Amino acid sequence: MEYRQFPGIDYTPSLLGFGLMRLPLNSDDTADINYELGYEMIKYALDSGINYFDTAYMYHSDQSEIFVGKVLTTFPRSDYLLADKLPVYRVESLDHAKEIFAEQLKKCNVDYFDYYLLHSLDRFTMEKADKFGLYDWLCEYKEQGLIRQLGYSFHDTPDILERYTAKHEWDFVQIQLNYLDWELQNAKRSYQYLLDHGIPVIVMEPIRGGALAKLPESASKKLLQRDKMASEASWALRYVASLPGVMTILSGMSDMAQLKDNIKTITGDYGLSRQDYELLDQVRQLYMESGRVPCTVCHYCMPCPFGVNIPESFAVYNRYVDTDDAKRFCQEYNALGEQQPKACTQCKECEEKCPQKIEISAELKKPRQFFEFTTAPCD
């Protein structure tokens, strides 16, 4: 496993980090974590040299931190670095933030966090964070040893990142980076700014919530023609691993096969040739032309007050776009029952919570209209 050294970072994270937001489940309920398989995966990861584990208050419907407290902490504290995040969008005051922090330590069963982040900042939550004095408070906690490294995770445009990064001193910044968002969300500008300022980058969504591991058929074929043994996910990981200034790449792994494949990629020869970059440019183009909804299935928009299952509605639609299988689409859409997009009232409450800035209420019309239009059988 590779460990990249950065000035001021004494506890070196592994290049591949384990994101604890897509753990294996026993059922469709995101809170229903499969502890047995989860334990096996954590053990395998540690044995393979992964030492960076990333949780957050709301992952797995607030259950990910409890998983950390019950599983990760059965291993020696010196074997792992734990990152947790303050859900700024839920914080109502400085005292409330302090209560959440204390609760997080308790749930995770630790007495300090190696890495701590203001979670999912955008132009609005940044204002809120500063209004409540969260940065200064967390600096005090850092001095007291409750936090070792302080950063923030980010979902907005590069100019906002530049402004906020310059406003405070950060040990690291976590951004969404992958070969699609390099252009789609201009992630290259955010990355370049951090690189130019010597701020270590933690990458989230390198495989874009799994979307780059299940590409549209035309893009998939191109990658297979180049290397029929390489997984689609491995191309996405190689892209970000090849970037200097990247300290850790977080992957939310859901089964042993994904974990092993990611480890194989990161411990192998992951460098990309000029032809590889050209190939990924073509794959990006094909992806953008495919008509998929750019949802990463992160569940940040949930719950919808009117019961729409937003991520699954988009997942069902995207599967149809990828496969052209209208019958399967109808069956899966039908299975959503009361959670179908037709329950959407256009209230837009979900849209400010979406880190991908998807116009959810408008995009939900795509699966809904296709379902109403298609004549494919549903049973």
Which residues form the interface with ligand SF4 (CB under 6 A)? 295-301, 304-306, 308, 310-311, 314, 344-350, 353-354, 356, 358, 360-361
Nearer to ligand SF4, 99 or 352 (CB): 352
Looking at the Cβ atoms of 69 and 311, the one nearer to ligand SF4 is 311
User: Per DSSP, what are the bridge partners of residue 175?
Assistant: 203
Closer residue to ligand SF4 in complex, CB, 141/300: 300
Measured from the CB of residue 293, what is the shortest distance to ligand SF4 in angstroms? 8
Q: Which residue, 242 or 369, is less far from ligand SF4 as judged by CB?
A: 369
CA pair distance 323, 345, nearest whole angstrom = 29
CA dist 249 and 207 (Å) reads 10
Shortest Cβ distance from residue 108 to ligand SF4 (Å)? 24
Q: In terms of Cα–Cα distance, which of 19, 15, 8, 28 is closest to 339?
A: 28
CB 152 → ligand SF4: shortest distance, Å?
A: 18
Task: Supply the minimum distance, in Å, between the C-beta of residue 183 and ligand SF4.
Answer: 18
Least separation in angstroms between CB 331 and ligand SF4 = 21
For the bound state, the minimum distance from the C-beta of residue 310 to ligand SF4, rounded and expressed in Å, comes to 5
Residue whose CB is less far from ligand SF4, 163 or 342: 342
Q: Which is nearer to ligand SF4, 234 or 361 (CB)?
A: 361
Q: Which is nearer to ligand SF4, 76 or 305 (CB)?
A: 305
* Least separation in angstroms between CB 317 and ligand SF4: 11
Q: CB neighbours (10 Å) of residue 332?
A: 19
In the bound complex, what is the minimum distance in angstroms from residue 42's beta carbon to ligand SF4? 25
Shorter beta-carbon distance to ligand SF4: residue 249 or 354: 354
